[in-house]
Chains A and B, each alone.
Chain A
């Protein structure tokens, strides 16, 4: 019996909120079963940016690709003509595609840089699937996904790879090479700085063997420049391998737009009404290049990248946006301490709080772009700049139990225990924070550096390593095992082996970091 046709999945309420042209473009980029597009002039390498899946659910996921026969074309359109292209997709129960269970079609359009985001539904939970795209005679690389366990189902184990800070120009994505080869991996979580907006010049191009054209030498500001920047970073084969291996979920930090921006405000003196235009194109390019649900497609300078994911009864993941809604940098110590100061905004705080306190899961994982652990009051870009909001979140995390914050930003591996009151050494430990070092930002790095003492002087900080790598998190009903992997070098080439920097076990019900 042939599989049922996929059901259009775009949220109608969301669709109706959008203006006419935008709504049509989004809808067709997700599902266009009847679209008839002009034939595409034959171009090799349509799938040069790889494939990805994301926004996983027990019954499916979003599939992604972006057609780009010339990925580094400087107009940001990847060498594609300004016309619509029908992209067929297939999902199979086997890698050889002998048992295709779902298929459909989306429309690649110039408005979205010829990216498509079809959502496949109707799959079985906790099941392996393979997917691919087809345009004319060209077939994409094959991607793999495993659907989430059914709601409330018991889960033996679930593993997440955590990565951040992909300054492509600072070195090779060796960490991604090793992550893609992890035997035990269900999901990859990007915790911010998927791209960097800085100009790439001789002074910061440390990735030996790489060259870029003059178009990359200036700071990214326009849509064509953001599109080009994503294409450059996503051209990396190891990053593509990670995306093809497992579904991706993501939060952003600042460099997806501009260094240290705060809500609607640039950190570099640009008036808000002007900066809004840059936010709008940066958020659009993020949607175009990530396997996201339609909810993440921005309307001007506003969007919603938050997401909640439940892994059976084992874990609840809550993805937070710690950039878009934050209050500006405090003008005084008094303002920094203000009770109503927020890094998430009131609405998101309430949502996150509800997800935590109502969670039925054993583990309660959060992800955001900046460090939660108290380190120093002058680190105002992190939660240190929002102490009242941190207290509120810690309280909700304590209520939820077995709480874990996953983040990045600082280009160091850090493992810390979260106390209800950081100033009180006898205060209850209510959860842990696992801070992932960078994939590439800051080049090779070293075990210790000029910042080490700032962090390790706190008794609740249990580990620090300033080299590149990723964190592997394995959850079972009994415990969480966090493995901090590093690679000794990334600037010379991508051949470095991986080394274990530290491993901790956190027992369920006793949220400490026990060296393992």
Chain B
């Protein structure tokens, strides 16, 4: 029988918004690793041996993204072990503790939002898969959404197409979000852009406020599945969520109507989870 897999080592934890990404040294291909098993417990200490009820995932890759953690930030302690082609299990790794980063959606006070920050596109227009209706409904490639007047199911398509999308006419779509404010904010705000998925093209999302450039958000390569599937929280989902939270200087905002524009200037579509504007607590 092929040897027992070696013990997983070299684990590095990278905390991010609602996620902790673990990576470790590959154990190579001899014996062939069927999969790695990842166990997690809340807090800073692991049990003496992994318990199956603490299994949070299996992966063939020497990397695992633990998604869906509390937006307020969560501390978890992980152990990883390998299973060989013959079904033999290696010894568990040394435990590694990490805490996910808190999101403004949890730490801030919501000023305005479109959709729910829940890992799903489902509340948005044409979700989860009727993307073909977007170019016919928005032939000028501009989506207008007025906070307080419009609702996601009627006015916010679940995808924002980009120049890489032949099906949408290869246009750089703009989503213009009008947010009325009673007065200029006393302090800087935060803009949360949560995506359920992107395409393998990645891209650039240009964000402007009141006609002034705020930031160019570099979009990661995604799974290109969010055009057809709307729920990234399904176990085993291959949708690749990404989270982007940007400070918005108070000086860029005014009393009355403020227009935040999201312009997909490069790449393929983004699938919205939710967008929101938050005041700092």
| A267 proximity list for chain B (CB < 8 A) | 200, 224
**How far is B83's CA from A111's CA once the two chains are assembled, in angstroms?**
11
Flag if B85 contacts A111 (CB, 8 Å): yes
Flag if A21 contacts B30 (CB, 8 Å): yes
| B224 proximity list for chain A (CB < 8 A) | 267-268
Flag if A268 contacts B34 (CB, 8 Å): no
**How far is B200's CA from A378's CA once the two chains are assembled, in angstroms?**
17
| A270 proximity list for chain B (CB < 8 A) | 61
**How far is B235's CA from A273's CA once the two chains are assembled, in angstroms?**
24
Number of A residues, CB within 8 Å of B: 38
**How far is B23's CA from A274's CA once the two chains are assembled, in angstroms?**
10
A269 and B59 in contact, given A21-B31, A110-B1, A224-B34 (Cβ under 8 angstroms): no
Flag if B200 contacts A269 (CB, 8 Å): yes
| B35 proximity list for chain A (CB < 8 A) | 221-224
Flag if A217 contacts B236 (CB, 8 Å): yes
Flag if A221 contacts B59 (CB, 8 Å): yes
Q: Smallest CB–CB gap between B60 and chain A, Å?
A: 5
Interface locus among A276-284, A393-401, A483-491: A276-284
**How far is B1's CA from A110's CA once the two chains are assembled, in angstroms?**
8
**Is A199 interfacial (CB-CB < 8 Å)?**
yes
Enumerate B215-257 residues with CB–CB distance to A below 8 Å.
220-225, 234-238, 240
Which residue of chain B has the shortest Cβ distance to A197 in the bound complex?
B238
**Is B26 interfacial (CB-CB < 8 Å)?**
yes
Q: Smallest CB–CB gap between A66 and chain B, Å?
A: 14
Q: Write the B96-119 contact mask toward A (1 if CB under 8 angstroms, else 0).
A: 000000000000000000000000
Q: Smallest CB–CB gap between A27 and chain B, Å?
A: 13
Interface locus among A75-83, A354-362, A506-514: A75-83
**Is A346 interfacial (CB-CB < 8 Å)?**
no
Q: Smallest CB–CB gap between A465 and chain B, Å?
A: 25
Q: Smallest CB–CB gap between B164 and chain A, Å?
A: 12
**Is A304 interfacial (CB-CB < 8 Å)?**
no
**Is A39 interfacial (CB-CB < 8 Å)?**
no
**Is A19 interfacial (CB-CB < 8 Å)?**
yes
**Is B32 interfacial (CB-CB < 8 Å)?**
yes
**Is A59 interfacial (CB-CB < 8 Å)?**
no
**Is A127 interfacial (CB-CB < 8 Å)?**
no
Mark A residues whose CB is within 8 Å of B.
Answer: 19, 21-22, 25, 75-77, 82, 84, 109-113, 199, 214, 217-219, 221-224, 267-270, 273-274, 277-278, 280-281, 284, 299-301, 378
9 closest Cβ pairs, A-B complex: A218-B236, A269-B221, A300-B29, A222-B35, A223-B34, A110-B86, A274-B61, A111-B86, A222-B60
Chain A to chain B contacts (Cβ below 8 Å), 22 pairs = A22-B2, A75-B87, A82-B1, A110-B85, A111-B1, A112-B85, A113-B85, A199-B236, A224-B34, A224-B35, A224-B83, A267-B200, A267-B224, A269-B200, A269-B202, A269-B222, A277-B60, A277-B62, A278-B61, A280-B32, A300-B29, A378-B166
Mark B residues whose CB is within 8 Å of A.
Answer: 1-3, 26, 28-35, 58-63, 83-88, 166, 200, 202, 220-225, 234-238, 240
